[in-house]
Each structure stands twice: as C-alpha cells, then as structure tokens.
Amino acid sequence: MAPLPKPPKNQITSGKTDKLRFGRMAQYLIEHLPLGVVAFDVDLNIRDSNPSAERMLLSGNNLEEALGSISVPNGAGCWRERLETALAKNQPSVFENVSANCNGRSLVLHIICTPLRDELKGDLSGGLLLLEDVTAKVAMENDLATAERLAAVGKLAARVAHELNNPLDGILRYINLSLRLVEQENTENVSKYLQESRKGLMRMVQIISELLEFSRSTYSAFEEADINKIVEDAVKAMQTQADNAGVEVQRDYSKDMPNIRSGNLFQVFCNLIKNACDAMPGGGRLDIATRCDDHHVIMEFADTGTGLNPEVREKLFDAFFTTKPTGKGTGLGLAICKDIVERYGGQITADNRTQGGAIFHITIPLERTSRGQA
C-alpha cells in the first residue's frame, strides 16, 4: 500500500503539539473535506486545522483571532465568550447563518463547536470547530422564499380585487340612484343612498388599511419590553370590548419572562383577544398564559367559545378568510398576526380545547429575546 501523502504545511498556525493533532488516516481524510475543521485547546490556541478552514479564517495561532472576519451571532459579546460558553456546556453548540468576509468574499457559514475531553480523566482538553459554507444554500432558500412570496402576492392581488369590487359596485349603484333622484327633483331617499355609499367607502378604507399593514416589509422596532407587560397592555386595551361581550379574562403569567423588541406583538395579542370575544357573543372566559421552555417563549390564548371545525382550522390564517358576517371583518387579522410572529422566527397555531373552545399557541425562539442574546 502506498504511503499516505503528507498533510500540507499551509495550516493556520505552526508549532502544533501532538496532543490535539489528527491521526494520520484521519488527517488525510480531514485535509480533503469540504468542511473547515479546527482543533483547539482550552485556551483557544489552534492545534490543527485543514485547508478548508484556512480559506474561511484569518491567520493566527489563537482561534479568537482567526475568527476575526466572522460576525459574532446576534452581534452580542465576542467569540471568546461564545466559545468558552460552548465548551462549558459539554455538548455541541451550533451557530447558524453567520456572516463572514473571507478574502473579500461575503460568505454565510454554519459553525458547530464540540468540546473534547480526555478519554481517561474526562477533563476538558479543548474543542473541535466545524465550519460549513452554506452561502449557496442560503441564497437558494432566499430565492425560493421570494418566489413563494411573489406567488402569494399574485393570489392576494386577485382576492383584493374581488374584496374591493363588492363595496365598489354598491357605491356606484347608490350614487347612480342618488343622481337619478336629483334629476327628478326627488330628494326623499338621497340621504339614505349617500349613507350606504359612505358605508361602502369605509369598508374599502378598512381593507386598504389592513392591506398596508400586511404588506409592510419590516415592522416597527420599539424598545425592549417584558413579554408579560406587552400581553397585559393588550388586555387592558381590549378590556372594554371584553366587558361588553361578557368575557372574563384570566391571566397566568410565568415569572421572570424575558424582554423582547415589542414590534407589533401588541397588535397580535389585541387581535387574538378581539377574536376570542367575537367567538363568545354570549359571554365566556379567556385564559391567557405565558411561559418558557428550554428553547422557546410560549403564549397561549384559550377561549370557551364554539371551537374550530376542520375546514376553518385549515384556512384560518389565509388572507381574507373570515367566519364573520359580511362587513364585520376583513379576514386579514390572523394573516397579519401570522406574518408578524414569523418575522420573529416564531409560529402561531390554533387548535380545539378538549373542554371546548379554541386555543391559540404562539412560540418564539428564546434566542430572539434578551435571554437568548445575553
């Protein structure tokens, strides 16, 4: 068997010790991997690396220096803090879609930091850093998302034309009737017809206003606020409507909830409270709860209304879908809520409660809150 080729000498750092060197067979395979691989000790000194890593990192003996061209995830802290925290966790830590500037090229990297421990003593001996160039993959995903959004815009445009056409037809009809009566010098019903025209115009104004909100590419970024406070502010804002509908609001807020850039979450909570009140015209109870698990902030809005049938659940978040009578709703409220929550990387879902009524779940990754960015 021919001897294995010697690994190239153009590694990120020289003077490597044998302690964290890759074995000869592993070294040969790792040298030819498309992934960047770096072995480092507990002081973040680089002990070995492969050519792929050298193409993504700066020259240097220390990993923090070598990562100097790569943005720190979420723009918080520094790489040394992130890596030391990753080693302390004793489990792989993932940094997704990190921006990098490598030799004048803008890249997007997927980075995994894995602690390494002494096989006999179990002591931490350093770590292994894997770097994957996902620039092309992210660009493709963005192109697909853009294409899907354009397709959705096309469908939305058709629905908009339909929704605006209905009140517009009524407005034209009532205006023509008014003109005919004026020509006949009969003004008895002119005021009535103009009032109906005004209703149609207000309906169009409502649709257009909600469409503008729905189509915004970004939402306002207000100061950070406690999630419980944002929910409570929404409850207070909708308290009069809840009282008028005979709806009792029960709160179950977990303590020490993280802060979040409130953006339009207040609007989401107001809309869910309003919908719950509409679902309980004869009165009922709305249970609102907040909590955190290991990865998400969770908010729940549960009512004692009639619940959701399968057809309604399937279309609930579609633009212009509504179960309310004509003129009572545009069908954009929940579509806007979904859009806002997804901009936080979160998800909103609806289901039926076992004891009757509907429950809406909102989950937002902890990393999008002050706790995840600390």
Strand partners, 79: none
- Confidence class for position 129, pLDDT limits 50, 70, 90: very high
> CA torsion 219→224→226→230, rounded to 10°?
-30
Report the pLDDT value the prediction gives residue 335, as an integer from 0 to 100: 81
What CATH number is attached to the domain comprising 95? 3.30.450.20
Give yes or no: residues 127 and 150 share one domain.
no
| Structural tokens at position 368 | 């999008």
pLDDT at 328: 53
Instruction: Provide the number of structural domains found in the chain.
Output: 3
CA separation for the pair 97, 135 (Å, rounded): 8
Question: What is the C-alpha to C-alpha distance for residues 80 and 72, in angstroms, rounded to an integer?
Answer: 10
In a domain, 8, yes or no: no
Task: Note whether 298 and 352 are same-domain residues.
Answer: yes
Domain containing 48: what range? 24-133
Q: What is the CATH number of the domain that holds 140?
A: 1.10.287
pLDDT value of position 8: 47
pTM of the model: 0.47
For 263-290, what is the mean pLDDT?
88
pLDDT in tens, 193-237: 888 888 888 877 777 766 665 454 333 444 678 889 889 988 988
Last residue of a domain, one of 180, 200, 215: 215
Tokens at 117, concatenated = 């421990």
Query: Which of 215, 230, 249 delimits the end of a domain?
Result: 215
Residue 103 lies in a domain: yes
Q: Which tokens sit at 42?
A: 């507990």
87 and 190 inside one domain: no
- State the CATH number of the domain containing residue 244: 3.30.565.10
Look at residue 99 in the predicted model and tell me its pLDDT.
87
Residue 298 maps to a domain: yes
